[in-house]
Amino acid sequence: MKSYEIENLNVVNDTDKLVKYQNPKTTFIDLFAGIGGFHIAMHSLGSKCVFSSEWDKEARKTYEANFKDIAPEIFDEGMFIGDITKFDVNLIPNHDILCAGFPCQPFSQAGFKKGFEDTRGTLFFNIAEILKIKKPKAFFLENVRGLLNHDDGKTFNVIKNTLIELGYSFYYQVLKASDYGVPQHRPRLFVVGFLDHNIKFDFPKPIPLAMTMSDVFEGVVNKDIGFTLRVGGKCSPITDRRNWDGYIVDGQEKRIGVKEGKRMQGLPENFEFPVSKIQAMKQLGNSVAIPVIKAIGQEILKHLEDSYAKT
């Protein structure tokens, strides 16, 4: 069996290896943070989290359990908040990169005039407001690929126009987790932008698969790449088209558990879930695939570093 160590996926293998940064080159904020997929990826690249928000109380337990040692300031200084809609944007620390896997609430059907005002009433408005006031050098967003075609593309156009109106460049692409080392399809939309319009951004090229579903289960599985890890709907019959968590392993039917889910998402083996198994599986299904985030984050940081060198 091939090694499933996360470092083989170009991601840290052990949170013990994530050190507390005193003088990082860059900083980021982690909005709609979930269990901290963005945090792990960006921190492992040498960037420091200075602010985080997550409203779900169970996800907050998991986030704090895994990051309180490497980013104690956000907890000690009240910078790990719940409801971002009730927080004063001016109190958010200055930062270089805004990261967010934001929920896509329905946008108003009335108007779609253009720009910042059209986002009011949605959680995307809070991202836009932070960008408007804090002016980070870059943003890095993740969402489901369906956002591209939501309401015949109108929602995506409002988001695009808003970000451009705020002074940022705009790059987007749908990438699959299986193209960045981990064995699940998980196509997701990624959007990146910079205040420096001289930066010409390219999304990272795919890399070979670093582990298969046989490595995930530590047994023989009849497919190398698994289904996209999901929230809910578990235990459909394995032959059902809705099945996503059932696999034939060494001739027997098995279901994805927490250990397997962590491997499919590129989480460190020692990542903790101080919650019920049901909650842990829900949180895994809602998480980002860390190798994809790290690959994109690496490109963002490289471009920012090149931009600094020219100024």
6-25 residue pLDDT tens: 333 344 344 446 666 666 78
Annotated catalytic residue within 49, 99, 104, 235: 104
Task: Measure the CA angle with vertex 8, ends 138 and 200; round to 5°.
Answer: 25
Catalytic residue flag (residue 104):
yes
Gap between the Cα atoms of 267 and 102, Å rounded: 20
CA distances from 273 to 35, 73, 241, 268, 284 (A): 9, 21, 30, 12, 10
When the pLDDT of each residue in the chain is averaged and rounded to a whole number, the result is 88
Taking only the tens place, the pLDDT of each residue in 181-220 is 999 999 999 999 999 999 999 999 999 999 999 999 999 9
Instruction: Write the DSSP symbol of residue 276.
Output: -
- Contact at 8 Å (CB) between 137 and 195? yes
Instruction: Check: pTM over 0.85? Answer yes or no.
Output: yes
Distance from C-alpha of 193 to C-alpha of 300, rounded to nearest angstrom: 9
Task: Give per-residue pLDDT as tens, 225-258.
Answer: 999 999 877 788 999 988 999 999 999 999 999 9
Dump the DSSP string for 32-69. S-TTTHHHHHHHHTTEEEEEEE---HHHHHHHHHHHTT
Q: Locate the domains of the chain by residue range.
A: 25-208+289-310, 213-283
Which CATH number is 25-208+289-310 given?
A: 3.40.50.150
pLDDT (0 to 100) of residue 310: 66
Q: What is the pLDDT of residue 217?
A: 98
Q: Which pLDDT score is estimated for 291? A: 97
